[in-house]
Amino acid sequence: MYVVESKGGAIACMLLALFFLGTWPAILTLLERRGRLPQHTYLDYTITNLLAAVIIAFTFGEFGHTNDGKPNFLVQLSQNNWPSVLFAMAGGVVLSLGNLSTQYAWAFVGLSVTEVMTSSITVVIGTTLNYFLDDKINRAEILFPGVACFLIAVCLGSLVHASNAKDNQVKLNKLGDSHMGKKGSLSDGSNAKEGKDLENGTGKVEKAKAGTASFLIELEGRRAIKVFGKSTFIGLAICLFAGFCFSLFSPAFNLATNDQWHTLDDGVPHLSVYTAFFYFSCSCFVIAIILNITFLYRPAFNLPRSSIKAYLNDWDGRGWALLAGFLCGFGNGLQFMGGQAAGYAAADAVQALPLVSTFWGVLFFGEYRKSSRRTYILLIGMLSMFVVAVGVLMASAGHRKH
């Protein structure tokens, strides 16, 4: 079994996890904005998310020789370690609920604000719990100022969303006589929709510029989740729920791998990261399958009804959804590998993923284009506070004694 033992190796795992965990939400957001039902996307994502855990378990979890103190993955499957297994599976349940919630929150408040708010709540609650579970191996005088910075980032994230929503409403009010056609494209000759000319079947229609009212209307007509007319508090409430779920999965995983509550019988070795991650991902998979199949037939937020047959026949964007699952699965695995070596509180530095998500959101989705100066000031303040918080949190990294 391969074990990350050095602080440098742990930080390398965290940085790679940061990129993976910041990229997969952007891919799912892209698919929702293209009109693919989130239930279809999440079912695809769930499959490869589990597959990533299986790959990690049969590679890193089986490297080298096994021994009684550090058994390999397959050996641990037959051991009496069910108390720790249940902690790992509980972590998978809350992560699945959080991931499912954020998929809807992205539509209401945007990729950037969703990731900042959920990640900050995760750090405020989860990092505090991990600090005490890890027997305070992280430096408190550095760790908790970082946690305070994350809390400030939550407040700034709410203000960014409110300011951006106000900016969008001003743009729509200035649109004047323009109005939406059947599918959300403008019928006043503003040529906001890209693609073939539906009347002549030839030529291209000019795409609306990001940040304009035409762009917002075009996006509303194309996307799967319709958000016009919905309360802005819906998205923020979903973010709060998701953040609470995310704050619990890492402490649960910590308990699964280190048995701080002494639930295992004497002589039974602790779960390895790879075995715990396998059980963690299995429970995440089961919950996601149950909930998303339910949402196929009983959809939320006025989404159209679907079916298993329609899902199986929906190949538009499936490759991207499968890629997102791999990125999330490997990202979570790397986060746990780094956390086992340097402390799970420090590993929460991967919650810097909003920095990556915001980059993709601005680059590909036109978020915050043509917004007011107030929105830009709040956005810069939010991201700056976030950068400081992550740097401080990583600086608190300790070294777990084996």
Q: What letter represents residue 120's amino acid?
A: S
Q: What is the pLDDT of residue 232?
A: 66
Identify the pLDDT of residue 401.
Answer: 62
How high is the pLDDT of residue 115?
79
What confidence tens digit (pLDDT) does each residue in 129-165 have?
988 888 777 778 888 888 888 778 777 877 887 788 7
**What residues does each domain of the chain span?**
7-177+209-396
Q: Average pLDDT for consecutive 10-residue bins of the chain (402 residues)?
A: 84 90 90 92 97 96 78 93 97 95 83 79 87 80 84 79 82 64 42 40 58 74 70 82 95 95 92 96 97 93 91 96 97 93 79 78 79 90 83 73 58
Structure confidence at residue 186 (pLDDT): 41
Predicted local confidence at residue 104, as pLDDT: 85
pLDDT at 177 (0 to 100): 44
CA angle 41, 44, 49 (to 5 degrees): 115
pLDDT at res. 53: 97
